[in-house]
Structure 1
Amino acid sequence: MGVFSPLKNLFGQKEIERSSTTIKYEKRHSNSKQSSSSTAHPNTKITSPRTNVSNTSSSSKRKSDHSGYIFQYKHGRKYHTNAEVAYVLPHDDDETDRVHEQHWILSAALQCNYHAPVTEMLEKGIMVLDSGCGPATWTFEMGETYPRSKFHGIDASCVFPEDIKPANVEFVIGNIAKKIPYPDSSFDYIHQRLLFLGLTDSDWDSALKELYRVLKPGGYIDLVEPDFHALFLAGPCMFSLQNTLAEISKARSIPPAIAPELEDRLFKAGFKNIVVRKADIPLNHGGKIGELLWNDYRHAYMNLRGIMATSDPTFENLKAYEAHIHQCGEEAKQSKTCFRWYAVYAQKPLN
């Protein structure tokens, strides 16, 4: 958890160039009644998650899936053991630190922690679910920012801190694609981010069905994912890297381009008033944001090396793999490569 203070200081600096990211509004379904002129909320306050905490012996009294506490070691890294969970990244300290850092990077790059118009609701006090919360960086910051609201994080593995947390935050272990352990209409707002390597095609359908079930009528769902194939001006090394992971994803029935499908999937799940936002974020150029996003991109691929090597044997050699990724970074810097991100939010109908 020592990553929070340095990142707080880093993102407090004026050198972060928010102007390098442009958020564009896209189409919504014809049944939408909300004006498309709403803007992103500038709620990127960085605070340490160690303040305002309560010491508890258990994160939640709700029944949890005990497989979330069982791990296995492969490729020298720690992974979950649940055969029903498709997530391919490790569950060790290094990956946890990367995800913590990634939260701050995205908060700065997207200029907000959420996109749905729920600020006033959060200030007054609502029930919030962080779906696939991971190490709970978003959950912690939001819990401190909005003390009147109650935040529940759910993940298939216990990678979140159980004993030290804000008083208005709880966690539960569960597979969102199978059964979310809460009654119907429990939450006013649901946040989910970066599960593009964690859900199969059928998982997405069942997860959205479950999220729809636990969301209150009129409540909002908020999804953020990168477009795996929308790498603008990428060079051959980066395309090779992306295509290798895309083939691995397809072999595991994980849709490699889930981001542009979110609008249609939400519509089919029954959600209404769907709003799509796109942000093209520089990769290894354009200032501090581009530099930090590249560092996260590189770190993620280093943590994926074990699984990447199962598809491309040349990646078994660590130095060769590092050299390939380094060349990807140089290509991105020279070609001004950008990575497209989708933020999509919608409402559950009142009836």
Structure 2
Amino acid sequence: MQRDGTVPLDETFTETIEHYGRSYQHYSLTNGTYFAPIDEDEISRLEVMHGVLSRLFDGRLIFPPIRSPRRILDCGCGPGDWAIEVATQYPDAEVLGIDVSPHMIPENPPDNMELQVDDLNGRFTFRSNHFDVVHSQMVAGGIHANRWRSYIRDIFRVLKPGGWCQMVEIYFNAQSDNGTLSRDHALSQWSRQYLESQQPYKDPRAPLQLASWMRSAGFTEVESRLLTLPMCGWSSVPRDYDIGRSNTDNVNQLLYSLALYPFTQFLGMSFSDFQLLIAQARSEASNPAFKAYFPVYVCIGRKPRR
């Protein structure tokens, strides 16, 4: 399989830092790359979230109409749940997963799956016109604000003519389906402070611009879908109710794990105030009366055949 761009696994990527009992990658914190933990608790949460998104997507791993992809690139693969499922579903395909954290990467991937440690903020060194599908999911927390356009151009370059890009991002701006969530509620405060804490390192509103950036990079047949990801079981539709119920634990954990470092380090929030805000936000997120949800953006685009 293609190995261009592999970064030697040394202390640059393996060193960790403890912060209020959670483990973080030293490289990511010092380079402003990723501010969420990389410990077992976070790996377990990401696995739960993969299951939730799988339900939201009705089990579809690849949205574009492609039957037999030969080479698939998964950017920001994390624990590798999506890549493992794709490698299993397409046993004749070569699947390559990339993540900045070796602590996340699974130890025993399928035979047709390869894993590399690399920072997506560096320019791609893969060959041009190489992959049939490039999958990019939940990388907004790891892509620098000024990297997005060149990141999508890199994806365009490494795709074969006729190849597809699929991008999935959650916009962490809590919404209420019945309008009962006000600015004064803790969940709304969490959202505002989370978006604030990511800047200037990240662009927390990147999910809203994926389609525009893809078109600017040269993609055609661009389609964007906005989905509702309920935070708990509040919907009257059985399918959506089940998705919400399965998402409750993920939301309770992410409200804490995604915000702990940026809130206490960048916003100067005391740990006691942080704990209080999280407790209140969790209570509101799990209260069906608020009908709270996060918007999810799914965007696909195709590299022209000529």
TM-score of the pair, normalised by structure 2: 0.86
Uncovered stretches (5+) of structure 2, i.e. residues with no partner: 236-240
Q: Closer, same or farther in 2 for the Cα pair 1:213/1:319, shift >3 Å?
A: closer
**What is the SS of the residue equivalent to 2:171?**
strand
Q: Closer, same or farther in 2 for the Cα pair 1:113/1:265, shift >3 Å?
A: same
Give 1:344's aligned residue: 299
Report the alpha carbon displacement of residue 328 of structure 1 after superposing the two structures with TM. Answer: 2.3
Q: How far apart, CA to CA, are the structure 1 residues paired with 2:168 and 2:204?
A: 15
**What is the SS of the residue equivalent to 2:127?**
coil
Matched, 1:166 2:110: yes
Q: How far apart, CA to CA, are the structure 1 residues paired with 2:160 and 2:20?
A: 43
Q: 1:224 aligns with which of 164, 168, 174?
A: 168
**What is the SS of the residue equivalent to 1:309?**
helix
Q: 1:268 aligns with which of 197, 212, 216?
A: 216
Q: Closer, same or farther in 2 for the Cα pair 1:102/1:209, shift >3 Å?
A: same
Q: 1:147 aligns with which of 82, 86, 91?
A: 91
Give 1:257's aligned residue: 205
Contact 1:314 1:320 (8 Å CA) reproduced: no
Give 1:334's aligned residue: 289
Matched, 1:208 2:152: yes
Report the alpha carbon displacement of residue 281 of structure 1 after superposing the two structures with TM. Answer: 2.5
Contact 2:162 2:302 (8 Å CA) reproduced: yes
Give 1:189's aligned residue: 133
Give aligned-pair identity as a percent.
22
Q: Closer, same or farther in 2 for the Cα pair 1:103/1:162, shift >3 Å?
A: closer
Q: 2:226 aligns with which of 263, 278, 281?
A: 278
Q: Closer, same or farther in 2 for the Cα pair 1:61/1:339, shift >3 Å?
A: closer
Report the alpha carbon displacement of residue 230 of structure 1 after superposing the two structures with TM. Answer: 6.1
Q: Amino acid of the residue matched to residue 256 of structure 2?
A: M
Contact 2:264 2:274 (8 Å CA) reproduced: no
Report the alpha carbon displacement of residue 335 of structure 1 after superposing the two structures with TM. Answer: 2.1
Contact 2:24 2:37 (8 Å CA) reproduced: yes
Q: How far apart, CA to CA, are the structure 1 residues paired with 2:115 and 2:99?
A: 8
Contact 2:230 2:292 (8 Å CA) reproduced: yes
Report the alpha carbon displacement of residue 318 of structure 1 after superposing the two structures with TM. Answer: 6.4
**What is the SS of the residue equivalent to 1:165?**
coil
Give 1:103's aligned residue: 50
Matched, 1:316 2:260: no
TM-score of the pair, normalised by structure 1: 0.75
Q: How far apart, CA to CA, are the structure 1 residues paired with 2:23 and 2:168?
A: 26
The alignment covers a number of residue pairs equal to: 287
Matched, 1:81 2:29: no
Give 1:20's aligned residue: none
Q: How far apart, CA to CA, are the structure 1 residues paired with 2:204 and 2:146?
A: 13
Give 1:241's aligned residue: 190
Q: 1:302 aligns with which of 246, 252, 256?
A: 256
Q: Closer, same or farther in 2 for the Cα pair 1:349/1:294, shift >3 Å?
A: same
Deviates more, 1:279-288 or 1:207-216: 279-288
Deviates more, 1:187-196 or 1:282-291: 282-291
Q: Amino acid of the residue matched to residue 247 of structure 2?
A: L
Report the alpha carbon displacement of residue 201 of structure 1 after superposing the two structures with TM. Answer: 1.7
Q: Amino acid of the residue matched to residue 112 of structure 2?
A: N
Q: Amino acid of the residue matched to residue 15 of structure 2?
A: I
**What is the SS of the residue equivalent to 1:291?**
helix
Give 2:61's aligned residue: 113
Q: How far apart, CA to CA, are the structure 2 residues paired with 1:283 and 1:161?
A: 27
Q: Closer, same or farther in 2 for the Cα pair 1:81/1:323, shift >3 Å?
A: closer
Q: Closer, same or farther in 2 for the Cα pair 1:200/1:161, shift >3 Å?
A: closer
**What is the SS of the residue equivalent to 1:255?**
coil
Report the alpha carbon displacement of residue 219 of structure 1 after superposing the two structures with TM. Answer: 0.3
1:48-76 Cα distance to aligned partner (Å, 9 max, x none)? xxxxxxxxxxx969631532223222232
1:220-266 Cα distance to aligned partner (Å, 9 max, x none)? 000001223362333422110101101101242x1121111001111
Q: How far apart, CA to CA, are the structure 2 residues paired with 1:212 and 1:266?
A: 9
Instruction: Provide the aligned C-alpha RMSD in A.
Output: 2.2
Q: How far apart, CA to CA, are the structure 1 residues paired with 2:275 and 2:20?
A: 16
Deviates more, 1:70-79 or 1:132-141: 70-79
Contact 1:85 1:199 (8 Å CA) reproduced: no
Q: How far apart, CA to CA, are the structure 2 residues paired with 1:319 and 1:157?
A: 27
Contact 1:132 1:192 (8 Å CA) reproduced: yes
Contact 2:195 2:204 (8 Å CA) reproduced: yes
Contact 2:120 2:143 (8 Å CA) reproduced: no
Q: How far apart, CA to CA, are the structure 2 residues paired with 1:299 and 1:221?
A: 29
**What is the SS of the residue equivalent to 1:229?**
coil
Contact 2:4 2:126 (8 Å CA) reproduced: no
Give 1:64's aligned residue: 7
